[in-house]
Every structure is written in C-alpha cells, then in structure tokens.
Amino acid sequence: MQGSAGVGRLSPFLGTWEVKRRIIDRFNRSLITFEGQAFVTPVQFEEHGDTRSDHATLRSSRTYRLDDADDDLVVRFPNLSEFIRIGEGASQRVSHHCGPDLYRGRLFFRTSGDWAEMWHVRGPRKNYLSLAHYRRI
C-alpha cells in the first residue's frame, strides 16, 4: 500500500505514547533530556515535548512520514527523503548518513506497549548518544 504504512503492520503501535529521552552530548559535555508524547497514525509519527539542558527548557517537536516499501516500514523526513527502514525483527540495527554525520541506531520492540531506541551520532560537530523509551499511554 504505497503512501501509507498499512494499519495491519502498524496496529500494535498506533496511538499515543509517553516518551522519555536522555542525550549524552560528548561534544559539549552535557546531558539533555526530552519528555513528551508521541502520536503514531498509519501515515505519520509525531513527537511533542520539552527538551531540557542545564541552561534552558525548549518546546520541541519532530514529525516523520511512514510508508510501506517491499517488506519494510520506511520512515521519511517531512520532505519525503528517506531516514531509515524498519523490518520485522524485535531488535534491529539501522543507520543514516546526513551529510558528514552518521546516525547508527538500535531499535528494540519489546511488547506492543513498550519499545526503545538508541542512537550513536558522530560528525564534525556532533558526538552524542541518545536513549529513548516509549510507553503506551
């Protein structure tokens, strides 16, 4: 089904999720946290919440489009360029090159009410580890 990720495949993940993320910024030697909610529909993943550092709290959001392609779920940026592909496995490795930056991720789909992701990001101006936990609300 081109243009949407298909309700059957995504049905365990449709709905609203609590998100807690910790980012260990090795480049700036700081800890950043994000707390908010994620909303998953058959065509979109959207997050809204607060990002906190030692110096400020900022309202943050991000949106991805979800599409089916072959046997994968394709996660796309708003401009429709591909970010990553997610397969069927409970534990997966993914990667994405963004200019000179490399994003290496691990996705852990534990149950239909709990999943996590871990990202190692490196580039000329980036060096961080991001750990996120999603819990169904």
- CATH code: domain of residue 48: 2.40.128.20
Q: H or E segment at 30? A: strand 30-40
**2 vs 128, higher pLDDT:** 128
- Is 32 within a domain? yes
What phi and psi, each to the nearest 5 degrees, are found at residue 26?
-75, -30
pLDDT, tens digit, 9 for 90 and up, residues 41-100: 999 999 999 999 999 999 999 999 999 887 889 999 999 999 999 988 899 999 999 999
| Mean pLDDT computed over 17-28 | 97
What domain range includes position 64? Answer: 7-136
| Alpha-carbon span 106 to 96, nearest angstrom | 12
Express as a percent the part of the chain with pLDDT over 90: 82
- Is 92 within a domain? yes
pLDDT category, 21, cuts 50, 70, 90?
very high
| Alpha-carbon span 9 to 80, nearest angstrom | 20
Give the pLDDT of residue 4: 54
Express as a percent the part of the chain with pLDDT over 70: 93
- Is 34 within a domain? yes
Give the pLDDT of residue 9: 66
* Total tally of structural domains belonging to the chain: 1
- Is 118 within a domain? yes
